[in-house]
Amino acid sequence: MRVNGKSCRAVCWHGESESVEWIEQRLLPHQFKQVSSRKPEDVAIAIESMQVRGAPSIGATAAYGLALAWQEDEQGFFTHWLPRFRATRPTAINLFHACDTMQNCAEESPTAAQMIERAQAYADAEVAANQRMGQTMADLLAVGERRILTHCNAGWLAAVDWGTATSGIYQLAKAGESPFVWVDETRPRLQGARLTAWELNQEGIDCRIQADGAAAWMMAQGKVDAIVVGADRIAANGDVANKIGTYALSLAAKEHGVPMYVAAPSSTFDTACLTGKDIPIEQRDDDEICRMDGMNEAGELHDVRIAAAGVRANNPAFDVTPSANLTGIVSENGLWSV
Ligand code: MRU
């Protein structure tokens, strides 16, 4: 998708410098900065520290990082680098899917160039899947459902390109429609306010950021036609792990008869997890709740404490929405009416 009118991916291979290049998402929407590295450890840190985040982007970044690892340290690939990348984040299954893909490729004793090609093919396949699922999603949303609510960032920043939840919205806009998006700010890291609203703005799509607590109230007033979210892992029975707050949205959607869809590529499905109870939920640091950062008018980034000193926080990063609360799950293979 576009940044200041120029096409861009959340993460890509930079052929000239033979490095991985990613957008430093922690600086958005204040600064747009691309970072590149040839060191696999930098790439692992980028995932761990959420410079790159969102399930499909995490997977593609790990694939590129493992290609660099093969180039730099073939000997340590299986013993050090695969476990290193697998340990960067626990919930998004795309990470493990990407690690398995690169492991299978490495077992064939490829050249460094072949490993890079494999990572590139992995990222391209994710983008193609997003584009295909967006066509299905756009058809569903075109049936009078244009005031769309989304949670977190399941946009192109989270998914290499197009996005998962946003792909259908972008495709509707490209077809000349005028979708409108309610963007949940998504505490605590504010991926909705900081990333999704920025993306939509770059594409000229009308949106409003709202407090997470406003979502149910907008549904009660009949102002939400459909909800579309992404996923970090989908269990065999259709239960969906996604950003904390998604489960609460699903309860309100059910109460108010608002259709709720999950859009995710097949790399997000985990048939080894029979139900959502088997999905590991990442527990994150207190500071994400107790502190806040932003930019002042002088253009300086500031980090401040918002909770009383010494107060502890509870910070589960994801929750699980039972499939029964969903209208459907859309992947590149079509609509699964759960
Ligand atoms: O913690 P994050 O920012 O990596 O969480 C991201 C989400 O929960 C997204 O909604 C999810 O990955 C779907 S992405 C296309």
Query: What is the rounded distance in angstroms from the CA atom of residue 320 to the CA atom of residue 160?
Result: 24
Q: What is the pLDDT of residue 331?
A: 98
Q: What is the pLDDT of residue 171?
A: 97
Instruction: State whether 39 and 152 are in the same domain.
Output: no
Instruction: State whether 265 and 310 are in the same domain.
Output: yes
Atom of ligand 1 nearest to the CA of 55: 12
Please check the confidence at residue 76 and state whether its pLDDT lies above 80.
Answer: yes
Mean pLDDT confidence for 240-246: 98
Query: What is the rounded distance in angstroms from the CA atom of residue 101 to the CA atom of residue 91?
Result: 18
Q: What is the pLDDT of residue 144?
A: 75
Instruction: State whether 90 and 221 are in the same domain.
Output: no
Mean pLDDT confidence for 61-68: 98
- Domain containing residue 69: 2-127
Q: How confident is the model at residue 231 (pLDDT cuts 50, 70, 90)?
A: very high
Please check the confidence at residue 317 and state whether its pLDDT lies above 90.
Answer: yes
Rounded to two decimals, what is the model's pTM? 0.97
pLDDT exceeding 70 applies to what percent of the chain? 100
pLDDT digits (tens, 9 = 90+) for 40-56: 999 999 999 999 999 99
Instruction: State whether 96 and 203 are in the same domain.
Output: no
Pocket lining: 262 vs ligand 1, CB cutoff 6 Å: no
User: Which residue would you say has higher pLDDT here, 284 or 142?
Assistant: 284
Instruction: State whether 227 and 321 are in the same domain.
Output: yes
Pocket lining: 95 vs ligand 1, CB cutoff 6 Å: no
Q: How confident is the model at residue 283 (pLDDT cuts 50, 70, 90)?
A: very high
312: CATH: 3.40.50.10470
Instruction: State whether 118 and 163 are in the same domain.
Output: no
Structurally, the chain folds into a number of domains equal to: 2
> Ligand 1, residues 242, 267, 268, 269: which to mutate, most atoms within 8 A of Cβ?
242
Query: What is the rounded distance in angstroms from the CA atom of residue 94 to the CA atom of residue 150?
Result: 21
**Residue whose CA is at the smallest distance from ligand 1 atom 15:** 154
Q: What is the pLDDT of residue 96?
A: 98
Q: What is the pLDDT of residue 338?
A: 81
Contacts of 24-28 with C-beta under 8 Å, sequence gap 24+, read: 24/51, 25/50, 25/51, 25/52, 25/53, 25/157, 25/195, 26/50, 26/51, 27/301, 28/157, 28/194, 28/195, 28/198
Instruction: State whether 160 and 258 are in the same domain.
Output: yes
pLDDT digits (tens, 9 = 90+) for 173-194: 999 999 999 999 999 999 999 9
Pocket lining: 232 vs ligand 1, CB cutoff 6 Å: yes
Q: How far is the CA of 243 from the centre of ligand 1 (A)?
A: 6
Please check the confidence at residue 307 and state whether its pLDDT lies above 80.
Answer: yes
Pocket lining: 134 vs ligand 1, CB cutoff 6 Å: no
pLDDT digits (tens, 9 = 90+) for 115-166: 999 999 999 999 999 999 999 999 999 887 689 999 999 999 999 999 999 9
Q: What is the pLDDT of residue 86?
A: 98
Pocket lining: 26 vs ligand 1, CB cutoff 6 Å: no
Instruction: State whether 160 and 71 are in the same domain.
Output: no
> Could you write out the DSSP letters of every residue in 231-259?
-SEEETTS-EEEETTHHHHHHHHHHHT--
The mean predicted confidence, pLDDT, of the chain is: 97
Known active-site residue 100: no
Domain finish residue from 127, 155, 186? 127
Catalytic pick among 232, 239, 270, 319: 232
